[in-house]
Chain A
Amino acid sequence: MKRRARLVLAAVATLALVPGLGAAVAQLPRFGAHPLPYGEAINRVAPVERHVTNMVTAVNFDYRGLDTVGEEFMLLTAVTGALVLLRGRRGESVTDSAAEAPGRPIPQRSPALRLLCRCFAPVLLLFGLYVVLHAQLTPGGGFQGGAIIGSGTLLIYLGEDYRIWRRHMRAHLFDAMEAVGALLFLGAGIAPMIAGASFLQNILPLGRTGSLISGGLILIANAGVALAVTGGFVLLLLEFLEETRAAEPEDEA
């Protein structure tokens, strides 16, 4: 479609939609003064029923756990699709060195950068682990912690160099992590069915509120998500960085 025609079409559509949108916004409830019954109910019953203190985790991995299974597999599909597209005909072969643009050599890492990254990388990975493990107690969970750990590994690339990063980030390991994570979550859903309960029903002992081991099945689902998100993020980083290498003749998909 021509550019001008598209703009005209968009303008006409906007004119048609604006009155309805304005009416809808005017009808929205007053900001900050309209508790929704569902959230209120969760805040009331979840601490008693599930022995957890983080309501968001209770919603994510228990009350609306089925939704999260769907989200989890959306994530798996998106990562798989991106990997298949990026790997192309190259398959699983990898290179040891990042590509070098002509005239722009990769500088040596300075000692200061190296030291900083070596100090911060373990702290960041540990923080990610903390966020994962305290999902049922304090703000955090598998999604957030997995993203922190996955991105934290980039500090290794920043502080060392591509070869070392590549040597420690084994794609097979993270492939397995991604799949095992998704399977673990699905298993946490199906295992209660084998025991005669419903899908994702929290039949495990719930533990004492406020302790690290509390919430029953939430812990397992959370661990599955953490594994899958970490694996997914690292795989995406690996493949996008691999994309920067100089193309070899047999690579062209």
Chain B
Amino acid sequence: MSLLPWTVALWLFAIGLYGVITSRHYVHLIGCLTVVQSSTYVLLLAVGYRWGAGAPIFFDHPPGTPAVDPVVQALVLTDIVVGATVTALLLALALQVHKRRGTVDPDALRPLR
């Protein structure tokens, strides 16, 4: 049971990486990259978790009640939003590749001369 979160993070990372390696389409590749990225969310949140603790919000609990780690949550939070915009940048690049070369298959693209 205590290994499950680490295993899930590992699995997400591995399956995303496999997708990146075998990808035949840039949009699929970018999707796989976000799967790899989501493994870091699972890992960070699992690191900060504590049994029997609440959210690190002391609005209706008095300060001092057990709470999970807020630092890793802050990391994940910014990671998600910045990740979304970086994904948009990558998709824009994929669009440009399609406009210029007429294909989005990484194998079909030769290095630029």
Contacts and interface: CB of A to CB of B under 8 A. Distances in A.
A94 interface: no
A54 interface: yes
Category for how many chain B residues contact A? 35 or more
Category for how many chain A residues contact B? 35 or more
B28 to A, nearest CB: 15
Contacts of B69: 35-36, 38-40
A223 to B, nearest CB: 16
B27 interface: no
A36 B57 contact: no
Contacts of A10: 18, 21
Contact of B56 (A25, A56, A78): A56
B59 A75 contact: no
Contact of B22 (A7, A40, A58, A229): A7
Interface in A131-148: 137-139, 141, 143-144, 146-147
A32 B55 contact: no
Nearest to B20: A10
A55 B51 CA distance: 18
Given A31-B1, A31-B46, A36-B71, 18 more contacts: A3-B22, A30-B2, A35-B50, A36-B48, A39-B48, A39-B68, A48-B63, A54-B56, A54-B59, A55-B56, A55-B57, A56-B73, A67-B78, A78-B86, A78-B89, A82-B89, A85-B89, A139-B57
17 contacts: A31-B4, A31-B5, A36-B69, A43-B70, A44-B63, A55-B56, A56-B73, A74-B82, A79-B85, A86-B95, A88-B96, A143-B78, A143-B80, A144-B81, A147-B81, A236-B85, A239-B92
A71 interface: yes
Interface of B: 1-7, 10, 18, 21-22, 46-51, 55-59, 63-64, 67-74, 77-78, 80-82, 84-86, 88-89, 91-93, 95-96, 99, 107
